[in-house]
Structure 1
C-alpha cells in the first residue's frame, strides 16, 4: 500500500480502525489490517473524516473587505449596494488572486469541495471568467462547483437571463436565482418557474437564494418545491437560506415541510451570516434568523450548512473553517443533544457532498483517498475545539499538515504543557 493510517476513529463511531490507501483510492478499512504501507501514520485514536464541504459560498467577493469601503451598517442591503459599487472596478487578476488565497486557506482547513455562487449580472462576465480559471487551477486539490447567480434579479436586471445562459455555456455548473429580490412576489414566482424550466431542459442542478428575508409571506420555497416536482428535478435542487421560515406560522410550516421533503429539495442554511444579517428590524424579542434546521431534518430534508461569506461586503470575519460554521449552527438551532451535534458535523461533510453530487466521497473501499485527520476523538469534540487539522489528504497525497493544539504553561505545581481535550 502507498499509505496506511493506523488506529483511527471514524465519524460513525468505529474506533481502532486502519485505513489502507493505494493509487489515490481507499483500498481497505478495518481493524488491524495485515497490510504494510510505504508510509504509515498512527492516528492515536484521533478522528479521520472525509473532507469538509461548503455547499454555499461567494468566492467572487471573498477577501474584498474594505473595497471600496466597509459595510458601516453590517446589513444585507448595504452589502448588496457595496457589491454594486465594487463591480465596475473588479479585475480578473485581483479576483483570481483573492480566490486562490482563499482556496489555500480552505485546503489547510480540510475543506476540499466548495459550491460558489458567481454573479452574472455584470455583462462582462468578468467574475465568471475569473472563477472558471480558478476552478481549472485548483482542480488537482479542490472541487469547485460554480452557480450562475443573478445577484440583481433574473427579471429585475436587464440581460441577466441571457448572461446566465452565456455563463452556463462557458462551463458554469448550476442554475441560481434570487426570487425574493425581484420587484414583486409575482415576479419572484415567475423567476423560479423560468429558471427551473431552463435547468430541466439543460439537465442541470438548481441552487436558489430563496426567501432570505424576515417576511413570513416570502414563500418562494413553496414554488421551488412545486416546480421541482412538476419538472422531475427531484434530488437536483437546493433552496439556500430559507430564513423567512423562522417567521412563518407553525400551521403553514406544517404544510410546507412535507412539500419540500416530497419534492426532494435540499436546504442550505448559512448560520454565521443568517444570525448576523437577519432580524435587523427587530428590537426585542429578536428573531434568531436561521431557518428551521432541526424541523427540516426531522421531516427528512437534506440540510447542509454553508459558510456563505468570508471577509467581503456582507461579512468581515471568517477563515474557511467549516467547524466554525457547524459550531454556530448547533448553537443557533439549539441542537445540543449528542446526536443533534453529530448531525451538525454531517451538515458540513456528508450531506453537502450529497447535495453537490460528489462521487467517490466517504471512507470505504473504492472511495477517493480524500481524508482529514483531526485533533479530536469524535465529531462532537471536533466541533467543540474547531480541531486542528493534523493531516489533509487529497487522492492519497498529504496536501497540508498542522501540529496538535497545545500551550506551554509556567504555573507552580502544574504540568508544563496542556492541550484542550479532556483527559489528554
Structure 2
C-alpha cells in the first residue's frame, strides 16, 4: 500500500511536513505534497511523528512472573535473583513464549518496534534462550528482537558458565553479556569480562554487560570493560548497562574514569525506574538515588539510552513497557529538567538507543524503511507531559498497532 501521511511534525521540527511511502519505504518528505493516483491519504492532524521506539534493556524471559513462586518481599536486587532462580526451574519453551508474546504485544501498544532483551543462560537446558530464538523469527515482521546471552548467576561463579555462554553464542544470540559485580571475587569479575569480550570477538557479536549494578563504590567493572573495549577498538559495539555504582563513586575517581570512558566510546543504558526502586536498599538517610550519571555522561559526549529493564517480574512487580514512563522518571531523578533537555529526551528511546543496538536503516529519511510512530500530541514536550498515546505504529508502511485518540471533557 502506498501512503501519504499529511500534516505532521517530524521529531523536534515545529513546521508541518508530509511523508510519502511507496512499497514500504520513505520516498519523499516535505511540506505540501499532493496525493498521487492510488495513494491512500492519512490525515496527521498536526501530530508528532517519531522513528520507532526502541527498548534497549529488558528481560522478557522473566516478564509476567511477579509472585511466582513467591513475591520479592524485601524488594532487593539479590532477593529478586533468588526468586527468579526458583522460578526458572519450571521454565518450558511454551511458558516462555506465551509470556513473551504478551509482553511484546503490550510493548507494541506504545510504539516499541526494537527490543534488546537479556536472556538468562545460567540454565543447563537454555530453555528461555531456545524459546526466544524461536520468537525472534516468528515476530520478525512486527518487532526486531536482539538477544543477549546473559549469565544471571555469573560466568565464572556458575557451574559450566563458560560452556553455557559459548553454547549460547553458537546457537545464534546477537550479544554477549556478563555480570561482573555478581561474581564471587574481583579476580572472577575481571576474568568474566575478558572472556565475554573474547567470545564476542570470536563470534563477531556485540557486548552488553550488567556492569556495577550495586551501591558499592568498590565495584569497578566499568573501568575494566571500557579498557577492554578501547584495547580492541570495539567501543561502539560495547554497552555498559546500569553502572549504578557510578552514583556512589567519589568525584576524583570519576574524573579519572571519564578519560578511558571517552576514549573507549562505549554506550550506556540507564534503567531509571528499576534502579531507583532497587538501589540504596541498605541506606537509611540520606538515601541515594542509585541511578548512573546520565547528565555527566551525556555532556561528555557519550551515548546513553534508557530501558524499562523489568515488566511485572521478581525485580519490578509493576511496569507496562511504556518507555514514556521511563523517560519521565529519568528526567526527574537525574535532574535533567532544563527545557532543551526535556525537548531532546525522546532521543534516549530512539536515536541513542539505535546507536546502542548498532542499528542501520533507522530513522525517518528518504530510502529508509517506513518505520515510524504517531503520537496524539503536536510535540514530544506535550506527549511526555500528558502521556499521549501512540495512535499509530507503522512498520514497512504497514499499520501494526493503533489507539483511538483520547477525548477528555471537564464538566465545570
Unmatched tracts of structure 1, length 5 or more: 412-424
Q: Is the 8 A contact 1:197 1:231 kept in 2?
A: no
SS in 2 for 1:54: strand
Q: For 2:365 and 2:187, how far apart are their aligned partners in 1?
A: 47
Aligned to 1:421: none
Contact 1:193 1:227 in 2 (8 A): yes
- The CA distance in 1 between the partners of 2:41 and 2:130, in whole Å, is 41
Secondary structure of 1:34's counterpart equals: coil
Question: What is the count of residue pairs matched by the alignment?
Answer: 411
Tell me the distance in 2 between the aligned counterparts of 1:125 and 1:400. Answer: 32
TM-score with structure 1 length normalisation?
Answer: 0.95
Cα deviations by residue, 1:305-353 (Å, 9 ceiling, x for unpaired): 0110000011011111011111111011111112211332100111111
Whether the aligned pair in 2 keeps the contact of 1:62 and 1:310 (CA below 8 Å) is yes
How far off is 1:14 after superposition? 4.2
Deviations 1:28-48 (A, max 9, x none): 111112343621112111100
Q: Which residue of 1 aligns with 2:291?
A: 290
Pair 29,14 (structure 1): closer, same or farther in 2 beyond 3 Å: farther
Cα distance in 2 for residues equivalent to 1:102 and 1:343: 27
- For residues 198-217 of structure 1, what are the alpha-carbon distances to aligned partners after superposition, in whole Å with 9 as ceiling and x for unaligned? 21222211000000010111
Aligned to 1:235, the other structure's residue is in SS state helix
Question: Any gaps of 5 or more consecutive residues in structure 2?
Answer: none
Match in the other structure for 1:34: 34
Contact 2:235–2:267 under 8 Å retained in 1: no
In the alignment, is the contact (CA less than 8 A) between 1:258 and 1:299 conserved in 2? no
Is the partner of 2:309 in helix, strand or coil? coil
1:117 corresponds in structure 2 to 118
TM-score (norm 2): 0.98
Aligned alpha-carbon RMSD (Å): 1.2
**Aligned counterpart, 1:275:** 276
Query: Which residue pairs with 2:350 in the alignment?
Result: 349
> Within the alignment, does 1:53 sit opposite 2:77 as a pair?
no
Deviations 1:350-387 (A, max 9, x none): 11112111221111101111110001111222211221
Distance (whole Å) between structure 1 residues aligned to residue 263 and residue 383 of structure 2: 33
Distance of 1:73 and 1:327 partners within structure 2: 26
Pairing 1:207-226 to 2, within 5 Å after superposition: 207-226=208-227
Post-superposition CA distance 1:20-65 (Å, at most 9, x none): 1111111111111234362111211110001100110101000111
Tell me the residue number matched to 2:11.
11
- Is the Cα contact below 8 Å between 2:35 and 2:41 reproduced in 1? no
In the other structure, the counterpart of 1:369 is 370
CA distance in 1, matches of 2:22, 2:321: 29
Residue 3 of structure 1 and its aligned partner are, at CA, apart by: 0.4
Q: Which residue of 2 aligns with 1:88?
A: 89
Q: How far apart, in 1, do the equivalents of 2:256 and 2:377 lie?
A: 40
Contact 2:212 2:222 in 1 (8 A): yes
Q: What SS is found at the alignment partner of 1:77? A: helix
CA distance in 1, matches of 2:296, 2:13: 25
Aligned to 2:106: 105
SS at match of 1:27: strand
Distance 2:268 2:343 in 1: 18
Once residues 248 and 370 of structure 1 are traced to their aligned partners in structure 2, the CA distance between those partners, rounded to angstroms, is: 40
The equivalent residue for 1:397 is 398
1:13 is displaced (CA, Å) by 1.7
Structure 1 runs, 4 residues or longer, greater than 4 Å off: none
- Separation in structure 2 between the aligned mates of residue 258 and residue 18 of structure 1, nearest angstrom: 44
Q: The residue matched to 2:106 in structure 1 has which SS?
A: helix
Contact 1:200 1:233 in 2 (8 A): no
Residue of structure 1 in register with 2:306 after alignment: 305
Q: Hey, what does 1:335 align to over in structure 2?
A: 336
Q: 1:119-134 to 2 correspondence within 5 Å?
A: 119-134=120-135
- The aligned counterpart of 2:249 is 248
Residues 212 and 243 in structure 1, CA contact (< 8 A), matched pair in contact too: yes
Partner residue, 1:422: none
Quote the Cα distance in structure 2 between the aligned partners of 1:258 and 1:5: 46
Moved more, 269-278 or 333-342: 333-342
